[in-house]
Amino acid sequence: MKRKFFRAASLALTIAAVLVYNIGGAYASEPLKLSAKSAVLIEASSGRVLYQKNAFEKLPMASTTKIMTAIVAIENCRLDDTVIVGRNASGVGGSSIWLSEGERLPLSDMLYGLMLASGNDAAVAIAEHVAGSVDKFTEMMNEKARQIGAYDTCFSNPNGLPAANHYTTAYDLALISAYAMKNDVFRQIVGTQYKTIPWQGHEWDRVLKNKNKILWQYEGGNGIKTGFTDDAGRCLSAAAIRDNMQLVSVVLCAPDMFRDCMSLMDYGFAEFKNRILVKSGEYMGEVAVRHGTKDGFGVYSEKDMLYPLTEEEYGKISRRVYVESVVKAPVNKGQEVGFVDVWLGDKRICSAPLSAPEEIGDNSYGYNVLKILYGILN
């Protein structure tokens, strides 16, 4: 098989793994009793949907919008940047950290005000700092949503206040949340219960308390954001990690949002485990090298391949390994020489490329003649 084929096949399989909701999940035999109009539970590393209720319905999302605001700011600015509060930010209504025009705060403190206290003013100040205007910042938010794969999402502002063409789906918001939770800075911020930040012009500092009760009330709770407007109702993206499995649950228009998310995650942790389907360093096959300084090399997996499965599903797992039988020198370290597929019954659920573990030089007759001539001429 040709290396070009492996590259194309690997890309196709990666796309198939990302679009895992098409594979289908092992949902509860009876629907969970949720107050939410729309809900989803996913495992963050694989993106697998473990449970869903109207997960692809477009709905307003209130302050869970700020998940995207935060990750766009973190990826595009330095945390020690000084954010200067403008008139637009100081005048924003709704939840606030009481910013004053001209006040200066490090971006890191603004982000805590954004995510713990849900400051609408902080959202606008951050947007104007990052992009120069709210409009340009929302363009960045929408572009990031497309990059993540949240195609049924549209942002019109950075704070989630009611606006035309401002919506998402539970599934899209879960994708955005899972993406953000992979960032160390973001994860630290949303996992913080209390934070003290300066308050310019006052004798005391601002003391911020995280509005997300998951951090206090749920074992392993480590994020991420609440939201509420009359238009959107109560919204929550919640996260918890246990036994090396990071779950993200999202509920939109949910009168009992915390109970809903806890019920979703209870189900996920009870029914699924993150199984090791391929172990790091596991032998996958042998590749011969033609005209090389070595005759061949062994192929080994580079990292653990994990996937959330029920006990019943785990018994239906199979693997298929594809490795080129021979390659021509020279061989570059990391050169793709095959891939491993993992199947659940007749459905491929994930795939990973296999690569050469070392560099192997060319030892062909023609190469050695050229090397001798080069040495004589130089």
d(CA 280, CA 283): 9
Six-digit token pair at 326?
């021979």
Please give the backbone phi and psi of residue 40, each rounded to the nearest 5 degrees, phi first: -155, 150
Residue from 10, 38, 63, 108 carrying the catalytic annotation: 63
Residue from 53, 66, 195, 225 carrying the catalytic annotation: 66
Residue from 38, 108, 118, 301 carrying the catalytic annotation: 118
Six-digit token pair at 30?
């009876």
Place of tokens 């109207």: 54
d(CA 222, CA 37): 24
- Are 137 and 127 spatial neighbours (Cβ–Cβ below 8 Å)? yes
Six-digit token pair at 47?
């993106």
- Are 345 and 2 spatial neighbours (Cβ–Cβ below 8 Å)? no
- Residue 118 designated active-site: yes
DSSP H or E run through 337: strand 336-344
Please give the backbone phi and psi of residue 124, each rounded to the nearest 5 degrees, phi first: -70, -40
Those residues with Cβ within 8 angstroms of residue 71's Cβ, 6 or more apart along the chain or in another chain? 144, 176, 179, 180, 183, 186
Distances in Å between the alpha carbon of 253 and those of 38, 61, 163?
Answer: 7, 8, 16
- For the chain, what's the residue count? 378
Count the neighbouring beta carbons within 10 Å of the beta carbon of residue 222.
19
d(CA 63, CA 69): 10
- Residue 66 designated active-site: yes
d(CA 360, CA 294): 7
- Are 328 and 346 spatial neighbours (Cβ–Cβ below 8 Å)? no
Whole-angstrom Cα Rg for the chain: 25
- Are 141 and 68 spatial neighbours (Cβ–Cβ below 8 Å)? yes
- Residue 63 designated active-site: yes
> Residues with catalytic annotation?
63, 66, 118
